[in-house]
Amino acid sequence: MRKAIALQPADHTMRVAPGRRGPPSFGQEVEIRGVSKFYGDMRAVDAVSLKVAPGEFLSLLGPSGSGKTSLLMMIAGFETADQGTISVGTRDLTYVAPNERGIGMVFQKYALFPHMTVAQNIAFPLKMRKFPADDIRRKVQETLALVRLEDYGERMPSQLSGGQQQRIAVARAIVFEPPVLLMDEPLGALDKKLREQLQIEIKQLQQRLGITVIYVTHDQEEALTMSDRVAVMCHGRLEQIGTPVELYERPGSALVADFIGKMNFIDGEWVGLGGAAGIVRVKNCGSLAAHGNPRGSDAVLAARQPVRMAIRPEQWRISKQGQGGEYVLDGVIQNAIFVGSYRVFLVRLADEGVVQVQLPAGQASQHLAEGESVELSCEPEAIHLFPARIAG
C-alpha cells in the first residue's frame, strides 16, 4: 500500500488507483478495539471491536437504536468513547478533536453552505488547510469532474437537485484526500430510483480512489449492494460481520437471518436420524429434512428439542397435493402475487401462519391458484437451523 497523502500545501494532483479493483491510493486501515459508549445507564455501543482494511467499503447495518450511528460519531470524534480505542493507520484518534482527525464526513442532510457557490463549498476544507489558491482551483475542478458536475461550480446549492447536492457533499468530503470517509445514511432523503443510481456511483468512485469508507445505513439492500463487508449491529453489539454473500447464505444468528433479506421462520421439533442428519417435524403440517448444525451455537441438538427453521422464499419448491415427496409441509395458497419477473405465493401452514414462496414467473408457477392445497419442500442445505432458545 502506498503511503497516505499528507494534508498540506505541498500536495499534488489527486491520485487514482488504476483499474476497478486496483490498490488503495490513500485509504488507511481503521481499527476499533473494545469501544463502548454509555448514555446514562444505557449502553449504546457495547464493546465493539473490528478492523476495516485500507480501501475497504464497510457498512454498519442495523435497526434504529442499534448503535451504528453512535459508533460512527465516535470514529468522527463528535462523540467520545467511554471505553476502548480508535485508530486510523498508525494514529490513535480516540481523544483527538474532530477537526484534527483529517476524516471526511457526509451526512444525510447535505450540510452545504447556502451562501457559497458549489466551487466555494468544495474549496472550503482546502482553505482551512491553507492550500495555495492555484492548488485549490485545480483540486476543485478535478473533484467536480469525479462527481460528474464539471459545469456546476458557479451555481448555488439551492439551484441543485437533491442528488446533485449530495454529489457536491461527497466532493467536499473527498477533495482533501482523507484516509477515511464516513457516511451517515447519505441517501436516505432521496427517492428510490435516484438512491439506487447514487449507490452505484458512490461505490464506483470509492473503488476508483481506493478510499476507506465506513457507511451507516438501516437499508439492507443498500448495504448488500455497496459493501465489501457488512457489520450487522443490534442493541449496541456487533452481531456478525462478513461479505454480503456470507451474511445472506450463512447468517450466524436468527437475528441476522431475519434482518438480511427476506426470510420465513418456522418452529418445529428436531428428530435426529444419526450424525448431522435429521428431520424437523412441524405441528399439524408435516416435516422437512435438515442438517443438524444449528447456526450460532456449538450445542448438539437433542431428540425432540424445539428448533426454529429459517428458509428463504426463493428456496422453496411448491407442488400439488401428493406430488412433493417424502418430506413436505402441507399448506393452502392464500394469495398469488405477480411481481414482474417472479411470483410470490403466500401459503398458510396450519398453526405456523403464512410463509412466502417466490418462484420465477414462468409456466411452472402459472398453474397454481389461490385456495389450492399444495406441498412445500426444499433442500436440506436451504434450511438455516437455530435452537429455539436463541431464535430471538
pLDDT, tens digit, 9 for 90 and up, residues 146-188? 999 999 999 999 999 888 999 999 999 999 999 999 999 988 8
pLDDT, tens digit, 9 for 90 and up, residues 329-379? 999 999 999 888 889 999 999 877 899 999 987 766 667 889 999 999 999
State percent of the chain over pLDDT 90.
Answer: 62
Q: How far apart are CA 153 and CA 168, in angstroms?
A: 10
pLDDT class of 392 with cuts at 50, 70, 90: very low
pLDDT class of 13 with cuts at 50, 70, 90: very low
Residue 390 has pLDDT above 80, yes or no: no
Residues 6+ apart with CB under 8 A from 234: 62, 63, 66, 255, 259
What length does the chain have? 392
Q: How far apart are CA 281 and CA 259, in angstroms?
A: 25
Q: Which residue has the cell 482533501?
A: 176
Q: How many CB atoms lie within 10 A of CB 92?
A: 12
pTM attached to this predicted model: 0.84
Domains 30-103+178-255 and 263-390 share a fold: no
Look at residue 5 in the predicted model and tell me its pLDDT: 33
Look at residue 47 in the predicted model and tell me its pLDDT: 96
Residue ranges of domains in the chain: 30-103+178-255, 263-390
Residue 10 has pLDDT above 80, yes or no: no
Question: Phi, psi (5° rounding) for residue 82?
Answer: -85, -25
Q: How many CB atoms lie within 10 A of CB 243?
A: 14
Pairwise pLDDT comparison (195 vs 75), residue with the higher score: 75
pLDDT, tens digit, 9 for 90 and up, residues 298-341? 556 677 888 899 999 999 999 988 887 889 999 999 999 988 88
Query: Mean pLDDT across the stretch 207-219?
Result: 93
Please provide the average confidence, as pLDDT, over all residues in the chain.
86
What is the CATH code for 30-103+178-255? 3.40.50.300
pLDDT, tens digit, 9 for 90 and up, residues 30-87? 999 999 999 998 999 999 999 999 999 999 999 889 999 999 999 999 999 999 999 9
Look at residue 274 in the predicted model and tell me its pLDDT: 57
263-390: in CATH 2.40.50.140? yes
pLDDT class of 293 with cuts at 50, 70, 90: low
Measuring CA to CA, which residue among 242, 290, 296, 198 is closest to residue 59? 242
Q: How far apart are CA 57 and CA 384, in angstroms?
A: 27
